[in-house]
Amino acid sequence: MPARPPPKRELLVQFAKVATIAFALALILRLVCGGRWFSFYGIAVTTIATLPLLTTVLLRAHRRFGWKRWPVWLLACITAAAALVQAGFWIVFFHGGGMGLGLGIGRAVAMPVIRAGVPWLAAAIAIAWAVLILRSVARPQKTTR
């Protein structure tokens, strides 16, 4: 039996706190590390740092509503993988010696093929997060596990 669902205001406050933390972290990283560093690593580092907070808020809401939690876990894993690939690529590119050269060549070959799909993939991930967040603050529907 699921616990009593949190009030909508409580969830909105929790999501606002996560958004504020993410924005503040991104701003601090941009100011401290500079624009060039932030353009390579900033969004990925901010995502990796705040993803556990957002995931926790959503998992608690899903548990309280009695909803399945696998969509939250799946989306969190996809988002974390994308952020880790972004940060990892640039770390190896700049600090990996010969591996960095190979990655650069591979990226130069692959990007013309995948460039058009990358914004669509990012939009799909953002829309999926928006659906999960909006669903959790909307009036919950009674569903089965």
Please state the domain extents for the chain: 8-137
User: What kind and span of H or E run contains 56?
Assistant: helix 43-65
Q: Quick check: 63 and 69 in contact, CB under 8 A?
A: yes
> Three-class SS of residue 83?
helix
pLDDT at 90: 92
More confident residue, 81 or 142: 81
Quote the percentage of the chain above a pLDDT of 70. Answer: 91
Q: How far apart are CA 40 and CA 128, in angstroms?
A: 24
88-128 pLDDT tens trace:
999 999 998 888 889 989 999 999 999 999 999 999 999 99
Q: Is the pLDDT of residue 1 over 70?
A: no
pLDDT at 139: 63
Q: What average pLDDT does the structure give for the chain?
A: 90
Cβ density class 47-61: b for 16+ within 10 Å, e for less? bbebbebbbebbebb
Angle at 19 between CA 54 and CA 61, to 5 degrees: 35
The torsion angles phi and psi of 4, rounded to 5 degrees, stand at -60, 130
Two tokens at 111?
């990007």
pTM of the model: 0.84
pLDDT at 3: 57
